[in-house]
A and B are shown apart, each in its own frame.
Chain A
Amino acid sequence: MLEARGVHFAYRGGPEVLTDVSFPVVAGRGLGLVGESGAGKSTLVRLLLGLARPTAGQVLLDGEGLRGRERALRRAVQPVFQDPYSSLDPRQRVDRIVAEPLRSLGLLTSRDRRAESARRVAEALRWVGLPEEAASRYPHEFSGGQRQRIAIARAVVCGPRVLLADEPVSALDVVTKVSLIDLLAELRHSRGLTVVMVSHDLTVVASLCEETVVLEKGRVVERGATAAVLGAPGHPHTRRLVAGVPRLPGPPAQRTAEPPDSG
């Protein structure tokens, strides 16, 4: 559906931040892009959203390049960003925020656009589990998790096929994080969305994505089914990433085997 093919990218006058990155996004198979800071994840997101052009290689939508197909790309791929405080215009009410793709992509076709917009915004808010009266409020009246739901509503309101989520739950505490992962999982089924998730948090990717691409310093070092890549990592960098995830302590019974200093 969406594909990176031999993508290279360098900022002007800078070193290459992405080198020969290739991977397909297959409809219905959630894809996790994992890597540490500096791996090139954010740049890759900009390329996949068509906000920057690869210096070499191509990003393909349905097998064709993006040049001149901006509208098709916008309708097919919508983003959700990491920081729920920066991704919503603080001076617009939620209904206007959520309706922006509808207005800008010219998707309101009926005679009474205002009513159609209101109806579709209410629908989108319902999908993400927010009450209808949220529409008339400002973003600052919501918590981080709720704001992220608003951002998701804006992304899904125009019925895209791919949701490109850039660290969508990293700024949230663990309980909210899990509830948003549940929401994304539900939207995948109910809305037929394919989620592409950029994250440094392997537990989140493991929860939501069937496929995983591991990036290190702008290169793909490992790629395949999540169960294989994160379950039995082949590349040393992936192994380091998996080993670095903090583990919960074992049950108290096991700890009695250690020297009795844990009190």
Chain B
Amino acid sequence: MRVRSPALAAGCALVAVIVAMALLTFFWTPYDPADTTGGRLEPPGAGHLLGTDRLGRDLLTQLMLGARVAVVASLGAVAVGGPLGPAVGVLAGLAARWLDDALAVVLDILLAFPTLLLAMLVVAAKQTSLAAAITAIGLAVSAVVARLTRVLVKRVLAQDYITAARTSGTSWPRIVTGHVLPNIWPTLAVNLALQAGLAALAEASLSYLGLGAPPPNASWGRMLKEAEATVLTSPVAVLAPGALLAMLVIGANLIAQGIREQADPTLRRSR
């Protein structure tokens, strides 16, 4: 499919920068992440493009490694929430009244917890690790997506073309794959793209609180935390991770908008 949406192109470009940065770290970083030979809190210059942190580590290196965690958190949350959310939502949408009600209550309870609190509980139950953080964020994403899916499924099921499919002799599984999913996936994809951006934000928040990926993983959230005290003397250490985080979230939002524009056949000529 030709990319005709400027939003999608811009979003992909923003996200691509971050993903490229994360991939690059597997082959090359300006300095060794553990290298503390630079002076402490050096300003940006020729030796260290963005300066150094208060341990004397190269900031650019830390940022690039942070991109890895951010991308992994985004993708991980979507990998958990992407299948789980719609599966639960479709089940609830199609299920008998009592099961639907039960699932709705469970989802509401999950949603009532702020993502961070949920994450803190999961992390507390296991221990701080990137996997635990991603599991927690993924669960929260699943609950949001499941509830959205349930509403969307019910809306589609009320349409006459579903009745027509039934009187055409189409079985329920084929109705779900042939009519329900194609009609709800654009909205779901939009929502998942948004959730991916929010997942990166959630991971940063967890790291900021010291509940995210533990060292030696570099995380933008923890970088923010560590640079907080010295924000006046070396603002780059705060601004740089903040800017990249914003880039990722905005990129995800633009992609979401782009998907919406591309997927709608009413905006698309058929030839």
- Which chain A positions have C-beta within 8 A of B266? 90, 138, 140
With A90-B265, A91-B265: A104-B182 Cβ-Cβ less than 8 Å:
no
Q: How far, in whole Å, are A104 and B170 apart by their CA atoms in the complex?
A: 5
Within 163-204 of B, Cβ neighbours of A (below 8 Å) are at 163-171, 174, 179, 182-183
- Which chain A positions have C-beta within 8 A of B182? 89, 91-92
Within 123-172 of A, Cβ neighbours of B (below 8 Å) are at 136-138, 140-141, 151, 154, 158
Asked if A105 CB lies within 8 Å of chain B CBs, one says yes
- Which chain B positions have C-beta within 8 A of A154? 164, 168
Least Cβ distance of B159 to chain A in Å? Answer: 5
With A93-B270, A136-B271, A138-B270: A87-B171 Cβ-Cβ less than 8 Å:
no
Asked if A62 CB lies within 8 Å of chain B CBs, one says no
Asked if B161 CB lies within 8 Å of chain A CBs, one says yes
Within 40-83 of B, Cβ neighbours of A (below 8 Å) are at none
Q: How many residues does chain B have at the interface if contact means C-beta atoms less than 8 Å apart?
A: 21
Q: How far, in whole Å, are A85 and B163 apart by their CA atoms in the complex?
A: 14
Interface string of B121-137 (1 = CB under 8 A from A): 00000000000000000
Q: How far, in whole Å, are A71 and B168 apart by their CA atoms in the complex?
A: 9
The answer on a CB contact under 8 Å between A104 and B183 is no
Asked if A86 CB lies within 8 Å of chain B CBs, one says yes
- Which chain B positions have C-beta within 8 A of A201? none
Asked if A100 CB lies within 8 Å of chain B CBs, one says yes
- Which chain A positions have C-beta within 8 A of B169? 70-71, 74, 101, 104-105
Least Cβ distance of B170 to chain A in Å? Answer: 4
The answer on a CB contact under 8 Å between A86 and B159 is yes
The segment out of A17-25, A75-83, A226-234 that lies at the interface is A75-83
The answer on a CB contact under 8 Å between A89 and B167 is no
Least Cβ distance of B165 to chain A in Å? Answer: 6
- Which chain B positions have C-beta within 8 A of A92? 179, 182
The answer on a CB contact under 8 Å between B265 and A74 is no
- Which chain B positions have C-beta within 8 A of A215? none
- Which chain A positions have C-beta within 8 A of B268? 138
Q: How many residues does chain A have at the interface if contact means C-beta atoms less than 8 Å apart?
A: 34
Least Cβ distance of B46 to chain A in Å? Answer: 56
Q: How far, in whole Å, are A87 and B165 apart by their CA atoms in the complex?
A: 9
Asked if A88 CB lies within 8 Å of chain B CBs, one says yes
Within 257-271 of B, Cβ neighbours of A (below 8 Å) are at 265-266, 268, 270-271
With A74-B167, A104-B169: A89-B270 Cβ-Cβ less than 8 Å:
no
With A90-B265, A138-B270: A101-B160 Cβ-Cβ less than 8 Å:
no
The answer on a CB contact under 8 Å between A79 and B167 is yes
Least Cβ distance of B178 to chain A in Å? Answer: 8
Within 228-271 of B, Cβ neighbours of A (below 8 Å) are at 265-266, 268, 270-271
The answer on a CB contact under 8 Å between A141 and B270 is yes
With A101-B169, A104-B171, A138-B265: A88-B163 Cβ-Cβ less than 8 Å:
no
Asked if A51 CB lies within 8 Å of chain B CBs, one says yes
The answer on a CB contact under 8 Å between B166 and A51 is yes
Asked if A49 CB lies within 8 Å of chain B CBs, one says yes
Out of B167, B179, B265, which one reaches A51, CB within 8 Å?
A: B167
- Which chain B positions have C-beta within 8 A of A50? 167
Chain A, Cβ-Cβ closest to B263: A91
Q: How far, in whole Å, are A82 and B265 apart by their CA atoms in the complex?
A: 23
The answer on a CB contact under 8 Å between A151 and B164 is yes
The answer on a CB contact under 8 Å between A87 and B270 is no
In this complex, which of B160, B265, B266 has the most chain A Cβ atoms within 10 angstroms of its Cβ? Answer: B160
Least Cβ distance of A139 to chain B in Å? Answer: 9
Least Cβ distance of B152 to chain A in Å? Answer: 13
With A138-B270, A140-B265: A78-B167 Cβ-Cβ less than 8 Å:
yes
- Which chain A positions have C-beta within 8 A of B159? 86-87, 89
22 pairs, A vs B, C-beta closer than 8 Å: A49-B167, A71-B169, A78-B168, A86-B161, A87-B159, A87-B160, A87-B161, A89-B159, A90-B183, A90-B266, A100-B165, A100-B168, A100-B170, A104-B165, A104-B169, A104-B170, A104-B171, A105-B168, A136-B270, A137-B270, A140-B266, A151-B164
Which positions in A face B, CB cutoff 8 Å? Answer: 49-51, 70-71, 74, 77-79, 81-83, 86-93, 97, 100-101, 103-105, 136-138, 140-141, 151, 154, 158
- In the A-B complex, the 6 residue pairs with the smallest Cβ-Cβ separation, listed nearest first, are A87-B160, A101-B168, A104-B170, A104-B169, A81-B160, A74-B169
